[in-house]
Amino acid sequence: MLEQKDVVIIGAGAAGLFCAAQAGQLGLEVLVLDNGKKPGRKILMSGGGRCNFTNMYTDHGAYLSDNPHFCKSALARYTQWDFIDLVSRHGIDYHEKTLGQLFCDNSAQDIIDLLLKECEQGGVELRMRSEVLSVEPNERGFLLQLPAGDIQAKSLVIASGGLSMPGLGATPFGYKIAQQFGIKVLPTRAGLVPFTLHKPLLEMLNVLSGIATPITVTANNGTSFKESLLFTHRGLSGPAILQISSYWQAGETIAINLFPELDIDGFLNSERLEHPNQSLKNSLARHLPKRLVECLQTLNIVSDVTLKQLSIPQQQRLIEELQNWQIQPNGTEGYRTAEVTLGGIDTKALSSKTMESNQVPGLYFIGEVVDVTGWLGGYNFQWAWSSAWACAQALAQR
């Protein structure tokens, strides 16, 4: 006999599990299908194993999308405070690390357990290692073909995520379904991802591998972030770089301010008065890692002079270079290490209230597969929760 469900959700990640739990608790018979062995694999890896599950300052301004207004409604209807409430109700201890980013005290597994308990409460059935071979629309919704047998779904929710980290089960399934139904998919690219560097610069900076320093980084479009830069053996990483990578296009440069807080002009002037015979290098090393200063010397940004030898025009040129260090990345590390995928299902094809396709009734897209991408810092999970919640409310009203 043909198996029938109110809702089939494809993807047991953050968005899929949360939507399933909500829809189940609203009385729907929900089945979640996932190609992996275990649900929530990205959640487990997230936030260095502690899951940065939301951000206290969540606001639509922290999201990139072709339509920056699309995410507003869902984020306003299920907010960071709603999810924090849920986390507290499950007795999960958490803390703010920095910039409103909330992490589990114990382990990201706590968030997976929360989602699974919520699913259990909603009577949700979870079927892992399940690959959908085909989806065909019919008068009762959608007929899904699986190796183990066909399933008839009244509503179909695509929560299969983006392309980042194929090692964790990422596939282009969601984009393919959209294309099958004539729904536009915007070009995708890796986001929140380290930069690689061209060989000559990489070779010069290689000795800095493992060193971190606070910076402000600015993209060509003027977007900037004040966070930490980490030099790696492949190029540049750290929160500042991951953030700006989402705003960077191939071929563009980024501008790095190595002194985001210090009045460097005033500092050098007072250093010159107090220690005129001190080397410029040693003065700068009071505020920058010593090895970085040595590298800046190799790059001819910092000259080998004492402070009294440093002329005022030279000082102005130096300050310009230290506060506006132009670097042209070679590329990014790509989907292999990217935390998110930019682009995806065109939001113009979806209702911002329900996440339902405008042209295919009963077909919904939630989470990362949609062209809504958050900054680093818990914003992407909040989008998963909010879009999933909006979708679940709509499913219950069909």
Residue 131 in contact with ligand FAD, rule: CB under 6 A: yes
Name residue, tokens 């089939």: 8
Stretch binding ligand FAD (CB under 6 A), from 91-99, 275-283, 344-352, 378-386: 378-386
Report the Cα–Cα distance between both ends of the chain, in Å, rounded: 25
Residue 74 in contact with ligand FAD, rule: CB under 6 A: no
Query: From residue 156 to residue 185, what is the string marking binding to ligand FAD with x (rule CB under 6 A)?
Result: ---xxx--xx---xxx-x------------
Among 339, 346, 356, 371, binds ligand FAD (CB under 6 A): 339
C-alpha to C-alpha distance for 237 and 229, rounded to whole angstroms: 6
Residue 10 in contact with ligand FAD, rule: CB under 6 A: yes
Stretch binding ligand FAD (CB under 6 A), from 253-261, 316-324, 377-385, 389-397: 377-385
- Angle ∠(35,160,345) on CA atoms, nearest 5: 150
Q: Which is nearer to ligand FAD, 165 or 295 (CB)?
A: 165
Name residue, tokens 């980013």: 101
C-alpha to C-alpha distance for 131 and 112, rounded to whole angstroms: 22
Residue 79, both tokens: 């907010």
Residue 378 in contact with ligand FAD, rule: CB under 6 A: yes
Stretch binding ligand FAD (CB under 6 A), from 44-52, 88-96, 109-117, 323-331: 44-52
C-alpha to C-alpha distance for 30 and 341, rounded to whole angstroms: 27
Stretch binding ligand FAD (CB under 6 A), from 155-163, 225-233, 260-268, 303-311: 155-163
Residue 367 in contact with ligand FAD, rule: CB under 6 A: yes
Residue 14 in contact with ligand FAD, rule: CB under 6 A: yes
Among 26, 45, 201, 301, binds ligand FAD (CB under 6 A): 45
Residue 124 in contact with ligand FAD, rule: CB under 6 A: no
Name residue, tokens 């405008």: 358
Q: Find the shortest distance in angstroms from Cβ 318 to ligand FAD.
A: 38
Residue 394 in contact with ligand FAD, rule: CB under 6 A: no
Residue 104 in contact with ligand FAD, rule: CB under 6 A: no
Q: Find the shortest distance in angstroms from Cβ 286 to ligand FAD.
A: 34
Among 20, 23, 28, 47, binds ligand FAD (CB under 6 A): 47
Residue 111 in contact with ligand FAD, rule: CB under 6 A: no
Q: Find the shortest distance in angstroms from Cβ 144 to ligand FAD.
A: 11
Residue 334 in contact with ligand FAD, rule: CB under 6 A: no
- Beta-carbon count within 10 A of 285 CB: 16
Among left, alpha and beta (phi > 0; psi -120 to 50; other), residue 134 is: beta
Among left, alpha and beta (phi > 0; psi -120 to 50; other), residue 345 is: beta
For ligand FAD, how many residues bind (rule: CB under 6 A)? 38
Residue 11 in contact with ligand FAD, rule: CB under 6 A: yes
Q: Which is nearer to ligand FAD, 216 or 380 (CB)?
A: 380
Q: Which is nearer to ligand FAD, 84 or 319 (CB)?
A: 84
Residue 126 in contact with ligand FAD, rule: CB under 6 A: no
Question: Site residues (CB under 6 A) for ligand FAD?
Answer: 10-16, 33-36, 41-42, 45-47, 51-52, 131-132, 159-161, 164-165, 169-171, 173, 339-340, 367-368, 378-381, 384
